[in-house]
Chain A
Amino acid sequence: QQQVKQSPQSLIVQKGGISIINCAYENTAFDYFPWYQQFPGKGPALLIAIRPDVSEKKEGRFTISFNKSAKQFSLHIMDSQPGDSATYFCAASIGTSGSRLTFGEGTQLTVNP
């Protein structure tokens, strides 16, 4: 069962542009929402995470926006750079329970120079 739906599947952005990736979840028990970045041949690496008690979290060029009522959250990458070209996964978990992450299907981001 797909509990976290991610879109788009792929995204092409010009250098300096804004990349936006969206996710929607079904399980209202989820209370921890991380984004992971994965480069070819590597495992995923945590980028930024948010809890539902805030609507936005920013770390450098990366921002998570969270809409609890709509059960949606998104990743915004400002001033996108070619080095940001990677696959991005949203995920969700129940923070107080075991570290079982439910991942979205991923978005392959390409930033053209």
Chain B
Amino acid sequence: DAGVTQSPTHLIKTRGQQVTLRCSPISGHKSVSWYQQVLGQGPQFIFQYYEKEERGRGNFPDRFSARQFPNYSSELNVNALLLGDSALYLCASSLAPRGSEKLFFGSGTQLSVL
């Protein structure tokens, strides 16, 4: 069975550019969450989507946006990139959008902003 897949695995951008990261959840999982993991720190919650609706948003600026498609895959968009956006972006899927649900994480997209 395929786990959570993310693409691309690595990405290099320059300041001011825009980036789109993609995530395919485990088959049957309808909830997708995005986390940002800065080197040496724990993941920080960005967004959660369930059934194509935003169910939660972390403390991130409006430059960050996301959406979920009818097949439950998701995209995370970041506009006007800053150096501080350099991080590992993790996507996680779960059966339901409950805090006690087991989250399955992908291996992430490593974004470097130069």
Contacts of A44 in B (CB 8 A): 43, 90, 105
Sorted nearest first, the 8 A-B pairs with minimum C-beta distance are A43-B105, A103-B42, A93-B99, A95-B100, A98-B56, A32-B100, A95-B99, A100-B45
Number of chain A residues whose Cβ lies closer than 8 Å to a Cβ of chain B: 28
Residue of B whose beta carbon sits closest to that of A98: B56
Contacts of A49 in B (CB 8 A): 100, 102
Contacts of A101 in B (CB 8 A): 35, 43, 45, 99, 103
Interface on A for B, CB 8 Å cutoff?
4, 6, 31-32, 41-46, 49, 51, 89, 91, 93-106
Interface on B for A, CB 8 Å cutoff?
4, 31, 33, 35, 40-45, 48, 50, 55-56, 58, 90, 92, 94, 96-108
Bound CA–CA A98/B31 (angstroms): 10
Bound CA–CA A32/B102 (angstroms): 11
Contacts of A91 in B (CB 8 A): 42
Q: How far is the CB of A104 from chain B (nearest CB, A)?
A: 5
Contacts of B56 in A (CB 8 A): 98-100
Bound CA–CA A59/B101 (angstroms): 18
Q: How far is the CB of A76 from chain B (nearest CB, A)?
A: 20
User: Is there an interface contact between A102 and B45, defined as CB atoms closer than 8 Å?
Assistant: yes
Q: Which of A91, A96, A101 has the most CB of B within 10 A?
A: A101
User: Is there an interface contact between A43 and B107, defined as CB atoms closer than 8 Å?
Assistant: yes
User: Is there an interface contact between A43 and B97, defined as CB atoms closer than 8 Å?
Assistant: no
Residue of A whose beta carbon sits closest to that of B93: A99
User: Is there an interface contact between A89 and B43, defined as CB atoms closer than 8 Å?
Assistant: yes
Q: How far is the CB of A101 from chain B (nearest CB, A)?
A: 7
Contacts of B103 in A (CB 8 A): 46, 99, 101
Contacts of B44 in A (CB 8 A): 103
Bound CA–CA A94/B99 (angstroms): 5
Q: Could you list 18 further interchain pairs (A-B, Cβ under 8 angstroms) beyond the known A31-B99, A106-B41? A: A43-B108, A44-B105, A49-B100, A49-B102, A95-B98, A95-B99, A95-B100, A96-B99, A96-B100, A97-B98, A99-B48, A99-B96, A99-B97, A100-B45, A101-B103, A103-B44, A105-B40, A105-B42
